[in-house]
Amino acid sequence: MGTIPLTAASLLVLAITFGAAAPARAGRSCETTRPAIATIERGLILAQRTHEALEAAHIRDGAQVVLLARAGQDLSKYGVRYSHLGLAYRTRTPQGQPAWRVLHKLNACGTATADVYRQGLGEFFLDDLWRYEAAWSMPSAHAQARLLSLLTDGDRALRLHHRPYSVVSYAWGSKYQQSNQWAIETLALALDPAAGSRERAQGWLQQHGYQPAVLRLGPLTRLGGRMSAANVAFDDHPDSQRFADRIETVTADSVFAWLQRSGLGGKPVSLQ
């Protein structure tokens, strides 16, 4: 489906359909200006197309849960394509219509903390995205069943959530927790109920071959990031790696690569 002009009324219908009637400010800047109509239109069209593609995957492959990514920032200079990962699952509206909801962690307005939100596809993509592209990986049937049970249980889904936030938190650390890190640690908890702490979840991930991304960030970049933003910190990284400009953190790209490599998920699918 190509991009088509939308009226105010049709935008409202799409927003309500895909859960974006009241967009949250978490994960976005705190500017008071309203997003441009074109931005809303593109985000809602991507949400609609993603819904249709996931429904087709449900019919074709039995998809119930996917790891869903978006490209909110330009991270290409670090070799990263997708900036943010959420856990999306299929459910139904009160009227009985199929719907996809996303559980994901968002950093509010560049602060040093973050919370977990349950949103529709509309809100997930209703942002000033760097690139209007969705990508997802469908876990194995066993993993989907475990994830679906956890994602619909509010208490269990939040068990490993840790509010202190750094966008480049150390993949094997516990001082901070960024969004992609929460998602993969929660996946570990779903697959191994004994992984009831972040340390145990990270141990499970190491045992099953997860390899974090290694970002090359020089001292000026690190210093500038720490001084200019509350949501950027490097003090949880081992000195031996930090001073060698090796920042190991969890990216959506590295999670997709691991899922396919380990056999826990399929080849990532992208949609533009």
Q: HSE, CB side, 13 Å, CA atoms: give it for residue 235.
A: 8
**CA 12, CA 50: separation in Å to the nearest integer?**
18
* Residue where the block lists tokens 């009226």: 7
pLDDT in tens, 159-212: 999 999 999 999 999 999 999 999 999 999 999 999 999 999 999 999 999 999
**CA 246, CA 248: separation in Å to the nearest integer?**
6
Q: Distances from the Cα of 120 to the Cαs of 56, 132, 176, 249, in angstroms? A: 18, 17, 26, 27
Q: Distances from the Cα of 56 to the Cαs of 5, 59, 67, 256, in angstroms? A: 25, 5, 16, 20
**CA 3, CA 143: separation in Å to the nearest integer?**
35
> Domain coordinates of the chain in residue numbers?
8-271
pLDDT in tens, 84-118: 999 999 999 999 999 999 999 999 888 999 999 99
User: Would you give the DSSP letter of residue 221?
Assistant: H
**CA 108, CA 113: separation in Å to the nearest integer?**
7
Model pLDDT, residue 113? 96
Question: Can you count the helices (H) and strands (E) in the chain?
Answer: 10, 8
Question: What residue ranges in 138-268 does DSSP mark as E strands?
Answer: 213-216, 246-249
